[in-house]
Amino acid sequence: MECVKICPLEAISKSGKTIEICGKKMKIADVDYEKCSKCKNGVLPDMYYEKAKPDRIAALCARTCLVHLEKHKRINNLFEIGFRQRNVWKIDKHGEIIGQKNENFKSKNKGKGV
Ligand code: SF4
């Protein structure tokens, strides 16, 4: 799972866990939300309930998942221009910024504000 690999705080376990919703069993990642609440990569506190899990929808892990699904055409709603257009960077557990090259970067999109 790409989210496990990219997470700078090792908050997502590789083994995962199984949950059951309406009789259907699903394997999901086991996430340490305490670590996520300290993450500096796009996580926000829940805006409605102080004690809720952190909002990770815009976090590095969620963005990386989206890019992976897009790259492997695992989603049907693909856009002409890919979601990620710039080089990837993250802030590690020591507060250092780490950069990665974006393989999908297309120079034709440069300067289009995407
Ligand atoms: S929110 Fe941050 S710490 Fe939590 S899983 Fe995502 S990248 Fe890792």
Residue of the nearest CA to atom 4 in ligand 1? 36
Ligand 1 contact via 41 beta carbon (within 6 Å): yes
What's the pLDDT band for 35 if we cut at 50, 70, 90? very high
Segment 1-25, tens digit of pLDDT: 899 999 999 999 988 899 999 999 9
User: Does the pTM of the predicted model rise above 0.95?
Assistant: no
Nearest CA to ligand 1 atom 3: 36
- Residue 110's alpha-carbon distances to 41, 60, 64, 89, 105, in angstroms, are 24, 22, 20, 18, 9
| Burial class for 6, CB neighbours closer than 10 Å (0-12, 13-18, 19+) | buried
CA distance 101 to 33: 28
59-109 per-position pLDDT tens digit: 999 999 999 999 999 999 898 999 998 888 999 999 999 987 666 555 444
The answer to whether the CB of 9 is under 6 A from ligand 1 is yes
Among 12, 14, 94, name the best residue to mutate to test ligand 1's pocket (greatest count of ligand atoms within 8 A of Cβ): 12
Q: Which atom of ligand 1 is nearest to the CA of 54?
A: 1
Cα–Cα distance, 5 to 61 (Å, whole number): 9
**For the chain, what are the domain ranges?**
2-80
